[in-house]
Structure 1
Amino acid sequence: MIMAPISSDLLHCINHDEWTSAIVAASLQVMCQIVTAAGNTAEALRREISGNCTAMRTMQIILDCEDCGEELCVLAIKILTQLDMENRESFICKLLAIFTANKDSHIRGLAGEKLATLSVESEHNAKIILNKNDDFVRRLTEVLLQDESNECRITAAWILESLCIRHYTDEDDECVKRLKEIMIDVMPKVLREVLHYGPNTKEAAEDTGLSTQASCESCDLEKGQRGDDSQDSIRNYYTSAEPGDVHCNDGQLQAELLSFSVMVFDKLIDADPNLPQKVVAIAPQDSVFSLARKLKEMVERYRLSAHPPVDCLRMLKLTTKIVIAIMKSIDWHWDEDMESLKISLSKALEKMSDFDGLMIISSAGRDHGVVEKRSDVTLGSLIKEAFVLLDKIKSRKLEIVPVIALSRET
């Protein structure tokens, strides 16, 4: 009886009358509560709904129908995501089409959220996205780089990360090879934005595929030194940045872009020997805009930030991972910017070490006293690894200087 308005396709038979829309909406609302409930009874009801072919077909029609309205589409997506479907591929393709349509709406955000969930929970679901061809992956990267909605950009990063993490070991899969090629092409463009390189011109925007935005060189670090930790001061800090300053206006977006860059370095650095050169190419070759200086500015930004400590800690960990990844992949030469980077990392560790320890204790409490023994869970362990790499670079310089001096004397 609950499914009757859906299984009979009342909505389209009566041509979207007001009373039919209300009845169908009520039916979908109850079905949504059923499929998201826990317990054996709910599981049995999910199987019954999944077995009703006419009801499943009607919900698919709702997603394709321009007259059904957003509320009905949202409910249909929530229900279908929870059910076993014979034609899962068709549903995922529909979600992809909605999410990459670049039209701001609640249904678009929900479609992206469900896509991320489906791609993580099942390798089969992730394969559907990859195996269609590279068009869907390309469209996801367009959302990641160009979309006006930060929420959709974050979701696109989640989906792409899940695809790479699940499939980067399938070396012989042509779809995976194509995925790697696209991710390696995209990562320097993401890192360019992360490091505040712009783009500031139309030509730069066309070259990187990013929207033109103001440079963030003048981001005011003084705001991060205020002693007031009230919610008002934090809210003021979020809203006081210059236009285009994604780092200050949207911390979550910045975190996801950093996480995406770290993932590409970790998983795909061996897939393209030219990736280090592509990373170096994002930075103008002069001391003012060196990679080391940009990374140092990022460390200082989060060290002095008025954001909640848990957010700053996460951003500092991700930034340090980027430092490590770049130093491992690029043949750097020691200079004063690298010395400043090392000093900034040391100050960040001094400020955050106590809070980092508190977070470990808190995590242990949630895990019933069991702390995972992972070398990369603390900021201290990450900075220690970065210092080892920095010291190696510095020692190479010290070894080269006497050789040069002896050559000149000769």
Structure 2
Amino acid sequence: MECEIRKKRKLRLWEASVFIALPHTRTELGFRGAVRVLVFTIMLCPLFLLYMFGLFVSPWISLWRLIFQDYGETAGDSSKANLRPALVVLYSLALFQGVLFYYRTISAYEENKLVRNVADAYGFDEASRGSVLDYLHEIKVGCEKDPSFAGGWNMITYAAQLMKSTSPNRYLSGVRILDTLIRFNSGAIGSGFPGQSMLISNTIGSASSGSILHNLVQMLDSKSPYDEEIRLRAVRIVEHFVIDIRLDKILQGIQCISSLLDLKPFHQPDEPLEEYGHRISVGEERQMQVRGIQILLKLSDDENNLRIMSNTDDLVSKIVALINDKQLHLRKHDKWSRDIVDPGVKLIKRFMSATTRSNNILWHKISTSLEAISALESIIDCDKCDEEVKKQAIRVLAQICWDTSSVMGDQNRERFIGSLIDMFLHKSKGSQFENLAGEELAQLSFGFGSCATIILEKYGPNMIDCVGKTDSGLYNSIHRKIAADVLKHLYGNYSIDDEHFQNLKEAMIDLLPKVLREVLGWGLTETHIQRVPSYTAPAGSGLAATQDNDGRLQEALASLCATVYNRMVNTDADLADRFEDIAARMCDLAAEPLKTFSDLIQEAMQRQPPYYPPEHAMRSNDENPNECCIS
């Protein structure tokens, strides 16, 4: 601090000298100006040099005069009898003063050098280097009183002590030190000192230091009178200790953290913002928003924190506003997607989860927010957005679509369901989305809502066609299994008297025998299916996955047959005789004993899926694959 004061004094002296010497206007100097410059050069410059470097020169002059004592003749002059001893004492005092000054100057230089080395090693910025110097002074003062004082001190404990102070300057100094040490230990160099990270966690994150963390969280509030530098550093510290934060223990904690997401009027990148006496850049403002949404995402890992967040009124609107930020979306898409959209959509999905739905304000806010729905739709339609982010957006939109209280109208629902159909059946977004789209369609087909109506009315024939395509190669086992689940849900829960239901009745009656023959294996020859009960494919192999998918498909088809048959027969007695006729024809064509349709379904439900062994499992051990089969 003393070095900084001396620098400021020198700077003020220089400015005063220039102010006196030079005119204040930008006109030519002229005669008066030339006189001023001359006076400044002859008189003020020597005075300035004397003030700045006098103490450096005086000890050398004193030493020279002590060595060469040519003080003149004093013999016979009683008034000068004591002149020589007096001059010796005077020059000795001046020399001693100079030695002390040089010692103090060299000591201050070494002190600043030590501070500079420590600051460079830990990455302290210019604003934080004064805090390192203050720490060194505290150590010196403490050691003067007690030589063992430094044994129990380090910069971490010093920062913790400063952050318990009521002095704003000391508190800021502690925040600067702690923020710098956290960033250092998070880097590649700091990772080699795990003891420091552990000490930081034990000192700041402990229960005894809970007030420090609570104060830091409350300083994040954008309405607080704190300097923006403190907010910027506090948000980095809070992010580091986020796993130790319990929102129910901090007054207005979630409101303070969510205020980091507040959008401010757009400024040019080179135009800094000025608040509370501290100028911050737009980049720093964006950094606080990014860290804010990351803090919220990490907080939501805790169930109790998630419950509190789910009942915060304006949280969703702030997240959606960030996601809808066109400036970032258009100019820095990859960074926007990684830093804002990915955690933002994950947060929205967690707010929509079943575990938080009870007394969940945000569930209703999301379902009734046109901005949220529009943001999620834009993510799905964006060609540059990440695959995982799109999948999260699809899941959230499916939940909103299923919610009858949402603001999503029938047209939007129909458009969304149509996009799911395209993803599922036509791979409009690529093969990585078809299974997810099918699973969401199966969920939307439950119940009596408008989603089930749209699927039944618009896409029921597509589902029947998908299930019935056994040999086209267009749809695989997963496609057909999901389509069978959709039809089962529609027939199991929907009103059978509905007009659209009646329109599909004949198609379903034609589909059931075909599906049942497939499950029973009556419609395929031995060349299509080889049953080798003793062979089981190894786990993790592609063949094992195929057998598993085929097994799931057969279970889904058998369940579909049972659901549709029971629903139709129970509501229309005339159909029972028709199904019995169908069963009789099936048994006759397959040369099987006569059975009822219900018995055939029961047999299908109990039937194991076929195995598809590799080529080596279908031959005997002594069979030569190159030997001709015709003798």
TM-score by length of 2: 0.38
1:176-221 residue CA offsets vs partner (Å, 9 max, x unmatched): 3x434323213x766667667xxxxxxxxxxxxxxxx9xxxxxxxx
2:440 to 322, 339, 342: 322
Contact 1:112 1:156 in 2 (8 A): yes
Q: 1:13 aligns with which of 154, 169, 187?
A: 169
**Alignment equivalent of 2:349, drawn from 136, 155, 161:** 161
Cα distance change of structure 1 residues 290 and 162 upon mapping to structure 2, 3 Å threshold? closer
Aligned AA for 2:421?
K
Aligned partner letter, 1:185: T
In the alignment, which residue of structure 2 is the partner of 1:280? 410
Alignment match of 1:250 (pick from 351, 366, 386): 386
Residues 442 and 489 in structure 2, CA contact (< 8 A), matched pair in contact too: yes
The aligned counterpart of 1:126 is 306
Give 1:281's aligned amino acid: Q
Please give the alpha-carbon distance, in whole angstroms, between the structure 1 residues aligned to 2:357 and 2:459: 37
Correspondence for 1:45: 202
Given the superposition, is the C-alpha separation of residues 190 and 87 from structure 1 closer, same or farther in structure 2, using an over 3 Å criterion? closer
Give the drift of 1:96: 1.1
Distance 1:29 1:87, change over 3 A: farther
Alignment match of 2:423 (pick from 291, 298, 318): 298
> Is the 1:62–1:72 contact (alpha carbons within 8 Å) kept by the matching residues of 2?
no
Counterpart residue identity of residue 294, structure 1: S
- In the TM superposition, residue 387 of structure 1 has moved relative to its aligned partner by 4.4
Deviations 1:111-146 (CA, angstroms, capped at 9, x unpaired): 2122122123132x12332445x2224333444556
Q: Residue by residue, what CA displacement relative to the aligned partner does 1:135-179 show, whole Å, maximum 9, x if unpaired?
A: 224333444556744342332332233233265553xx4xx3x43
**Equivalent pairs, count:** 300
1:126–1:191: structure 2 CA closer, same or farther, 3 Å change rule? closer
Partner of 1:96: 258
Contact 1:321 1:382 in 2 (8 A): yes
C-alpha displacement of 1:254 = 1.6
CA deviation after TM superposition for structure 1 residue 81, in Å: 0.8
Alpha-carbon offset, residue 340 of structure 1 = 4.8
Determine the C-alpha separation between the residues in 2 that align with 1:101 and 1:141. 11
| CA RMSD between the two structures | 5.0
Q: Is the 8 A contact 2:220 2:257 kept in 1?
A: no
1:385 offset after TM fit, Å?
Answer: 1.0
What is the letter of the counterpart of residue 165 of structure 1? S
Q: What TM-score does the superposition give when structure 1 sets the normalisation length?
A: 0.54
What SS class does the counterpart of residue 101 from structure 1 fall into?
coil
Residues 1:135 and 2:309 aligned together = no
Distance 1:398 1:83, change over 3 A: closer
Q: Tell whether 2:483 aligns with 1:388.
A: no
Q: Distance in 2 between matches of 1:259 and 1:333?
A: 17
Gaps of 5+ in 1: 197-212, 214-243, 284-288, 306-311, 355-377, 402-410
- Give the partner amino acid of 1:252: E
What is the CA-CA distance between 1:107 and the residue it aligns to? 3.4
Residue deviations 1:265-322, cap 9 Å, x none?
A: 56xx3xx4x55x9441326xxxxx86664333333664673xxxxxx44x32331233
Query: In the alignment, is residue 78 of structure 1 matched against residue 239 of structure 2?
Result: yes
* 1:301–1:316 Cα change, 3 Å: same
> What fraction of aligned residue pairs are identical, expressed as a percent?
8
| C-alpha distance in 1 between matches for 2:505 and 2:491 | 12
Relative to 1, partners in 2 of residues 1:44 and 1:145: Cα closer, same or farther, differing over 3 Å?
A: closer
- Is 1:140–1:156's contact at 8 Å kept on the other side of the alignment? yes
Partner residue of 1:3? 157
Tell me if the contact between 2:160 and 2:203 (Cα under 8 Å) persists in the aligned partners: no
Structure of greater Rg = 2
Extract unaligned runs of 5+ from structure 2: 1-153, 265-281, 330-335, 495-499, 508-631
Specify the code of the residue in structure 2 equivalent to 1:140: I
CA separation of 1:54 and 1:390: change in aligned 2, threshold 3 A: closer
Counterpart code for 1:26: T
Match of 1:4, as an amino acid? Y
Q: Which amino acid aligns with 1:28?
A: I
8 Å Cα contact 1:299/1:319 also seen in 2: yes
Which protein has greater RCO, CA pairs closer than 8 Å, 6+ apart? 1
